[in-house]
Structure 1
Amino acid sequence: MKNKLKKGTRGSATNYITRGKALKKLQLTLTDFRRLCVLKGIYPRDPKKKAEGPLKTYYLAKDIQFLAREPLLDIFRQIRVQKRKIIRAKSRSEPGTLKQLRESMPKYTLDHIVRERYPTFHDALRDLDDPLCMIFLFSSLPALGHISADRVKNCVHLAREFQLYVQQSHSLRKVFASVKGMYYEAEVMGVTVIWLEPHKFAQKLPRDVDYKVMGTFLEFYECLMRFVNFKLFLTLGLSYPPPAAVFSKLRSGTAESGLVADLKQDAGGEMAKKRRSKRDRKSLSVSHESVSAAVQAVMAAAARKEGSQEQVDEEEELAGAQDGGDELDNEDDSKTLLFSGLSFFLGRETPMSVLDFVIRSFGGSVVCETDCRSVGSVRGKITHWVVDRPKLRGEKRVDLEYVQPQWIFDSVNAGILLPVSLYSPGAHLPPHLSPFTKEEEDGYRPAFSEFIERIKAGDTSVLAESAFMLGQAPHVKQGRLELPARREDGHDHEDDAMPAGEGAKDGAGSSRSSAEEEQEEDEKVLDARAAADAKSEEKELAKMMMPRKHQKLYETIMRGRKRRSAKMQTVVAKRRAIDDA
């Protein structure tokens, strides 16, 4: 007779383990266990069958076995023992022993965990959104309670280093100013990275947040960002960490003169050795390349003598593909270097750090009002004056363009320099559209988005409409831009207007009577209704032939479409109400 299986020997009872048993097995406190799980990327599970009740927290047994072989376990135990000795020395009032114990506190690093969780560099880049958001968040927090001043300072340095790489590589793609802060999107080595930078103001720390857990995440993210920044700087041939003189030049506006030189002059010996080894390999391969080039030349001459046309066609195709690739590269350069050749003067009332980062990332130069003694000292060096005041101070210069900060963000998202007249100081600004929303999914397209697309398409008439700030455009209503309404056929309603004389001539020259025309229109309406009814009947028949599973899926899809169309109609109605007000 076959032996019966005992309860708790197979299935979820052995695959999962409760948190209490895990603590006993690892001999850790709850705080150290949570800390270790955060660092190793292990989280609780929700099994279908909970062997020891639904009120307990379960982990995979394999994960706990994985934690049992972690080298940090011994260090955590040593730290716990050291803390007990410190408490005992305090109670006995032994200052010498207390100082010695604090200096001999065990230390650890997280380098092996970073290499373990991210085997390749692209894996780290794909998971860079959360570390960047956390680093930028703590860089703006005050040093209070569990947040030490050294940690805040380290976060500031890591954030500046990453921004410096984005500026030098021109990797920034999108910018959006929201209530929470500034959203950025950058393309780092083919990977899209999105992060949030809070606004620069005094932060209030809420009391219902566990800053110890956030500090554990931040500890791992700091180590990860050091790895990532080092690798990114290495790809550009720059030294890491960058010297402090680089950031001082960025603040003073003189970074263009010697920024790259300062970054490259402190490069380590390893980078120099790598460059020398690459040059040696290239010199060794010169002879092979020259021989192969000579062989290819002889073969090409023989092919021309034989009159073979296939090789010529292939060369033409390759040349055409290369020309197409060059055109794409030129388009990318025009977008990434949008502000190339432009110099911006930032007023002290503008968000200087944000504008400085965005402008330099797209090839522009920046001069801040707080760094120059007077406006006359930079006369002739600037092309745009960024103002965030309702009125200008002093006289308006004719050789400058005065814009508000939103012009920079909207131009970056649009990929072109938008008309400056829309963003003049004190003007009612157009809507700041989010570049992260997909208009195809929402089904609604804002009017200003259509306005930008017409500018990209080369429509010259739209530039005349942008002069509404000066009171010269016909489509102006209470200081807001109103684009001409368009019908479904793509023509303006103004094109439908015809002189009365021409209409009378057409009516007199028509041979058909009004009764015949009405009859033809009625027939067209009836035919359209019949076609619609036939189409709906075909859909119903096709739906009846579907399996029940497919019918439910089809109904879910149709409900989603109706919900999106209703939402779009609501937004359109709100827009019409605002325009009519």
Structure 2
Amino acid sequence: MIRKGSKGAAKAYISASKARRKLQVSLATFQKLCILKGIHPRVPGKKLKGSQKTFYLTKDIKFLAHDPLIRKIWELRAHRRKIKKAKAKKETSKVKSLLDNSPSYRLERIVLERYGKFQDALSDLDDALNLLFMVANLTCTSLISSDKIANCRRLCREFQKYVVMTGAVRKVFASVKGLYVQVEIDGIRPVFIIPYRPFQRMPEDVDQRIINSFLEFYECMLSCVNRHLFHRLGYAYPPKFEESLEERGLSIFDAFILESKKKDEAQMMVDGSEGFSNDTEKGDHSNTLLKGMKFFLGREIPVDLFDFIIRSCGGEAIWELPSMPVTDTSSITHYVYDRPDIPGERRLDVEYVQPQWILDSINAQVLLPVSLYLPGVSLPPHLSPFVNHENSSYRPHFQDFISEYKTSGVNTYTERVVGDKSSTQVVAENNKNEEEEEEERRQRALVPNDKSEPSSESANRKLAKLMMRRKDRHLYEKITKSQKEKEKKVNRLVRRQKELMQSSE
């Protein structure tokens, strides 16, 4: 007879409490080990006893039991007990020696185990960048120290420096949370968020231990990725950074001092490893949309974000500092202001735009008309570049204008916004075409054949619905309900679009 629990799902899965007893660790340590090794909870196909529990694969727990990292965890636990015992006995010299000789572990081996190829690390880079950019704008807490925040800030700057050197920015979108940025590295396009400053404080209901565990792994991962990227360009890692230039308010990208890499320098920090394996090397196509342009940023513009975006597209950005006023203004081509009143005298040989012009031009991959983005003018909609309007039933009017402007340079949207006389003629022609289409629909409705076809089709649909199984019928009703809700949403957007166009006329 087969013994109970020796075969099937009962053998393949193990509960979290049994896994912790097997590994001899606490709940917090078990969560940290699972985060570092990338072990996730599983849902058994067959219901087990205590289905409300959390289950893991038994195979993953066995691999984790033989991992060298858990030996270091045990050593750290024993070391903390020794320190606690020495403090209770008031042995200050022993406590000092124990603190100086605390055991440590490295995570580069785990990074190489989880990401065998460099493309695998790039595909998982968005989560790492989101967390590191968030922590870089935080204030220190009891679990997230100031050293970790400074390290996150350094890693994010190094990654931004690589993006600026290669021109890897593809799409940007300004939202309430922050600035969404999409970069392209080796054909992979991770999307991450750069939050605005000052960032809000850490919420009290967030478990900072979980964030600290993820942060510990993602720090090592981004360090390995940055090292690989800089070495591929032929520069030593880590690059030197002059803090004095940042304190004076200058661009952080001018504070980097790049040195050429030595020939015998290893590609990774792990001894005896060759780093990420690269099957295919794809050259990055640099973005030179703003090449030859020099932007002067107003005081209300987030300087660090737009300096990164402009430099990544080949442009140059300057701004006024209290200690260093701008004296040479002859090379400035664009003034960027986010307010209606322009300070100083207005020049005729330069362009004055709002910051949305830079973002929309990058998303459209073409320099849009400046007349739509003059200071004090109501701006066109800031469309998300991550939504594909080609196959959707609702297509914004401004998206049509961008596609027409890229192909033939048609400027109908500009005329409609500025208030040209020809815009009324265009609107009248559109209304006339709509009336003709409605008349054609009325004529079609009078034909008896057109009336019989939909009724027969609906009858056939009802018969087919009756012949379905209950499960299939329920699924079909859910699909039709979602389609109707989508149509209602699209019709509402189209109606609002027509109302706005009529009010602007």
Which TM-score tier does this pair reach, normalised by the shorter chain?
Answer: 0.7 to 0.9
Partner of 1:35: 32
- Aligned partners of 2:157 and 2:84: how far apart in 1? 39
Deviations 1:343-378 (A, max 9, x none): 111122211111111111111011121287334x12
> 8 Å contact 1:181–1:196 — kept in the other structure?
yes
**Separation in structure 1 between the aligned mates of residue 118 and residue 144 of structure 2, nearest angstrom:** 29
1:137-286 superposed matches below 5 A: 137-245=134-242, 248=245, 252=250, 262-263=257-258, 265-270=259-264
CA distance in 2, matches of 1:143, 1:155: 12
In the superposition, relative to structure 1, how do residues 559 and 467 fare at CA in structure 2: closer, same or farther (>3 Å)? closer
Report deviation, 1:42. 0.9
1:436 correspondence with 2:386: yes
Aligned to 1:455: 405
Offset, 1:462: 2.8
Counterparts of 1:40 and 1:387, CA distance in 2:
48
1:369-406 CA distances to partner (integer Å, 9 max, x unpaired)?
1287334x122111001112221112111122111111
Aligned CA distance change for structure 1 residues 576 and 535 (closer, same or farther; 3 Å): closer
- Give the drift of 1:454: 2.4
SS in 2 for 1:565: helix
Q: 3-state SS of the aligned residue for 1:439?
A: coil
Q: Distance in 2 between matches of 1:483 and 1:419?
A: 22
1:52-201 alignment, distance < 5 Å: 52-201=49-198
Contact 2:161 2:253 in 1 (8 A): no
- What residue is the counterpart of 1:398 in the other structure? 348
Contact 2:230/2:237 (<8 A) preserved: yes
What's the counterpart of residue 274 of structure 2?
none
**2: distance between equivalents of 1:31 and 1:253?**
41
2:271 maps to which residue? none
Distance 2:98 2:143 in 1: 22
Q: Partners in 2 of 1:13 and 1:272 — Cα distance?
A: 46
CA distance in 2, matches of 1:41, 1:533: 60
Deviation string, structure 1 residues 302-327 (Cα, Å, up to 9, x no partner):
xxxxxxxxxxxxxxxxxxxxxxxxxx
| TM-score normalized by the length of structure 1 | 0.75
Greater alpha carbon shift after TM alignment, 64-73 vs 425-434: 425-434
Native 8 Å contact 2:401 2:411 kept in 1: no
Q: How does 1:521-536 map to 2 (within 5 A)?
A: 525=444, 528-531=447-450, 533-534=452-453
- Whose RCO is larger (CA < 8 A, sep 6+)? 2
Measure how far apart 1:423 and its partner are. Answer: 1.5
Partner residue of 1:563 out of 475, 485, 494: 485
CA distance in 1, matches of 2:239, 2:150: 15
Instruction: Indicate which of 8, 16, 19 corresponds to 1:11.
Output: 8
1:223-281 residue CA offsets vs partner (Å, 9 max, x unmatched): 1101111111222223221221499499635968x97xx42x342233699xxxxxxxx
Which of 285, 288, 292 matches 1:337? 288
CA deviation profile, 1:133-179 (whole Å, cap 9, x unmatched): 01111111101221101100110011111111111111111100101
Contact 1:253 1:368 (C-alpha < 8 Å) held by counterparts: no
Question: What is the distance in 1 between the residues matched to 2:305 and 2:58?
Answer: 47
Match of 2:496 among 564, 574, 580: 574
| 531-540 or 155-164, larger mean C-alpha shift | 531-540
Q: Which moved more, 1:130-139 or 1:384-393?
A: 384-393
Distance, in Å, in 2 between the alignment partners of 1:216 and 1:398 is 55
Moved more, 531-540 or 397-406: 531-540
The answer to whether the 8 Å contact 1:413/1:435 transfers is yes
- The answer for the alignment partner of 1:500 in structure 2 is none
Amino acid at match of 1:268: K
1:279-318 matches, within 5 Å, as: none
Q: CA 1:207–1:254 in 2, change beyond 3 Å: closer, same or farther? A: closer
1:1-33 Cα deviation digits (max 9, x unpaired)? xxx323222222211222222222212222211
Contact 1:455 1:463 in 2 (8 A): no
Equivalent residues of 1:419, 1:463 under 8 A apart: no
Which of 198-207 and 128-137 deviates more?
198-207
Instruction: Give distance in 1, aligned partners of 2:51 and 2:474.
Output: 33
TM-superposed CA distance for 1:535, in Å, is 6.2
Q: Tell me which amino acid in the other structure corresponds to 1:533.
A: S
Question: Which residues in structure 2 correspond to 1:328-367 (within 5 Å)?
Answer: 336-367=287-318
Q: Partners in 2 of 1:49 and 1:521 — Cα distance?
A: 59
CA deviation after TM superposition for structure 1 residue 126, in Å: 0.9
* Runs (5+) with no aligned partner, structure 2: 268-282
Q: 2:366 aligns with which of 393, 403, 416?
A: 416
Which residue of structure 1 lines up, in the alignment, with residue 468 of structure 2? Answer: 548
Matched residue type, 1:450: D
Contact 1:465 1:475 (8 Å CA) reproduced: yes
Letter in 2 for 1:374: P
Secondary structure of the equivalent of 2:53?
coil
Structure 1 gaps, min length 5: 274-328, 477-481, 498-519
| Structure 2: distance between partners of 1:164 and 1:130 | 19
Q: Distance in 2 between matches of 1:27 and 1:427?
A: 66
Q: 1:15/1:365 Cα in 2 relative to 1: closer, same or farther (>3 Å)?
A: same
Distance of 2:408 and 2:162 partners within structure 1: 34
Q: Secondary structure at the match of 2:161?
A: helix
SS at match of 2:184: strand
In 2, the alpha carbon distance for the partners of 1:153 and 1:88 equals: 33
Q: 1:464 to 1:132 in 2, by over 3 A?
A: closer
- Classify 1:117/1:254 alpha carbon distance in 2 versus 1 (closer, same or farther; 3 Å): closer
Q: Closer, same or farther in 2 for the Cα pair 1:48/1:144, shift >3 Å?
A: same
Please report how far the alpha carbon of residue 120 of structure 1 lies from its aligned counterpart in structure 2 after TM superposition: 0.8
Contact 2:444 2:450 in 1 (8 A): no
Residue number in structure 2 paired with 1:378? 328
Letter aligned with residue 357 of structure 2? W
Instruction: Give the CA deviation at 1:447.
Output: 2.0
Aligned-residue Cα RMSD (Å) equals: 3.4
* TM-score of the superposed pair, with normalisation by structure 2: 0.85
**1:205 shift after superposition:** 1.5
Q: How many residues align?
A: 480
* Identity value in percent: 40
Is the Cα contact below 8 Å between 1:406 and 1:432 reproduced in 2? yes
Larger radius of gyration: 1
Letter in 2 for 1:137: M
SS of corresponding position for 1:53: coil
**Structure in which a larger fraction of residues adopt helix:** 1
